[in-house]
Amino acid sequence: MSKNHEGIWESCLKVIKDNVSLQAYKTWFNPIVPVKLENNVLTIQVPSHFFYEWLEENYILLLKKVIQKEMGKEGRLEYSIIMENNTTKSTPYTVKLPALNSKNLKNAPISMPLDINEKQIRNPFIIPGLKKVNVDSNLNPSYSFDNFVEGDCNRLARASGYAVANKPGGTAFNPLLIYGGVGLGKTHLSHAIGISIKDQFPNKTVLYVGSEKFAHQFIDAIKNQTTNDFIHFYQMIDVLIIDDVQFFSGKEKTQDVFFHIFNHLHQNGKQIILTSDKPPVEMKGMEQRLVSRFKWGLSADLSAPALETRMAILEKKMYGNGIELPKDVTEYLAYSINTNVREMEGALNTLLAQASLNKKVITIELAKQMVDKFVKNTAREVSIEYIQKVVCDYFDLELEILKSKTRKREVVQARQISMYFSKIMTKSSLANIGAHCGGKDHATVLHACRTVRNLSETDKQFRAYLEDLEKKLTIQ
């Protein structure tokens, strides 16, 4: 029996799921709804213009393969795209794609109207003597894309930022809201976008401003009765970057004036870039009409970097400064400070300054002292990753082998020792420790700890292992 549109799309999803990450699948394919199947054309509905652009930019090859697999070489795909309208409920419109074949796949651009349901609003105000060329962008030249290390923690944000930099105001990523915790690179990435735009489009006026400065400027404008000039100035900007927009929370008049500036810029095709410590849905004290506009484009998060990314960040910084550190020192910093890039870079700077000013050789012992002072409350806690690394180095094992299911005696012993030190030196739960050791459960971790304690009481050689490892792990 032939499949209907839902059955075909379900079969496509099974293949797609095996070829993309779980997060990508949830973000870009779960929201898609199959609409109909007519004349070998499958129509799928996507939530926004942004979805359409992102799928075409990143998954067209995959979509081509799965459609042809399920429907044959004549299979075609159409998008039904929901366009948001402020006054009426969202209605879909359809974009027909050419047949998915190898001849037109790579080079045939998809024509899609960008101005549906949009009206261009011209600024009726002209301020004599106010010239855009005099605007200082306030961008830090060291915060470039070249100095921004990409990893799984920031790939979406960086890719969308790069797209905006190449076509400011011309993508669906408007506004682009970059959110994440302290010290994860929001400010760096927003500056990088601005710098790239200035390099590629010298005639565009780019302005970076912190939300607090924006609010203070507005207060001064009220005091000096120059509110109109304040608004007109910001309406002239081509690319507006507002850092830490969450600080507008509770400031009703500031939110109101930013709302009107936002609308004017957006309606005139100007690019808006925002950073925040949280996504729009979690912003408290923010007007709903402003929050809804933050959702118009793309909200991309920055999360804590993985070990490999932290290592790459340190190596990039050292290379940029023309310095070289012992490998064990670099590894120690990356393993020990695992939540905040800014804090990790600060620890590196402190270490370099200490070594330079006091004419000390940079060693692992000096690094431990610096981390002890720098990380404050967490200084006495090393990470599970670092414990595993030290144990593997001590017994000359690969980390992958430690986490594997092998039951070789020397591997089991090293695994149990890493679990033991993880329990006594970190605040991690037994379940979390087990997850870091190849998916073991909490009972396995408890058994490992008991085994290590028993062996340390009866086996002198084993006790010597523990003492050596404890010296290596203990922060001086």
Hey, what domains does the chain have and what are their CATH numbers?
Answer: 5-105 (3.30.300.180), 135-302 (3.40.50.300), 307-378 (1.10.8.60), 384-473 (1.10.1750.10)
* Count of helix runs (H) and strand runs (E) in the chain: 21, 9
Q: Is the dihedral of CA 187, 193, 199, 204 positive or negative?
A: negative
The pLDDT, as a whole number, for residue 85 is 42
Residue range 354-374: mean pLDDT, rounded:
71
Hey, what amino acid is at 111? S
Residue 90 has pLDDT above 60, yes or no: no
Does residue 89 register a pLDDT over 70? Answer: no
Neighbours of 49 (CB within 10 A): 23
What 3-state class would DSSP assign to 109? Answer: coil
Whether omega before 279 lies within 30 degrees of 0, making that bond cis, reads: no
* pLDDT-based confidence at residue 2 (cuts at 50, 70, 90): low
Q: Give residue 372's pLDDT.
A: 65
Say if strands 206-210 and 176-180 run parallel, antiparallel, or are unpaired.
Answer: unpaired
Q: What pLDDT, on the 0 to 100 scale, is given for residue 374?
A: 60
- Does residue 321 surpass a pLDDT of 60? yes
**Mean pLDDT score, 386-405:** 87
48/95 Cα distance (integer angstroms):
12
How far apart, in whole angstroms, are the C-alpha atoms of residue 446 and residue 419? 9
Average pLDDT over residues 281-285: 85
Q: Torsion over CA of 424, 429, 432 and 433, rounded to 10 degrees? A: 20
pLDDT at 345: 77
As a whole number of angstroms, the distance between CA 152 and CA 282 comes to 23
**Residue 151 Cα distances to 1, 156, 164, 302, 312, angstroms:** 45, 9, 19, 10, 9
Residues 331 and 245: their CA atoms lie apart, in Å, by 35
Q: What element of type H or E holds 77?
A: strand 76-83
Is residue 176 over pLDDT 90?
yes
Using 50, 70 and 90 to split pLDDT, how confident is the model at 95? very low
The per-residue pLDDT of the chain, averaged, comes to 79
Q: Is the pLDDT of residue 315 over 70?
A: yes
How far apart (Å, rounded) are the C-alpha atoms in residues 340 and 446?
31
Beta partners for residue 43, in sequence order: 36, 78
pLDDT of residue 306: 75
Between 330 and 138, residue with greater pLDDT? 138
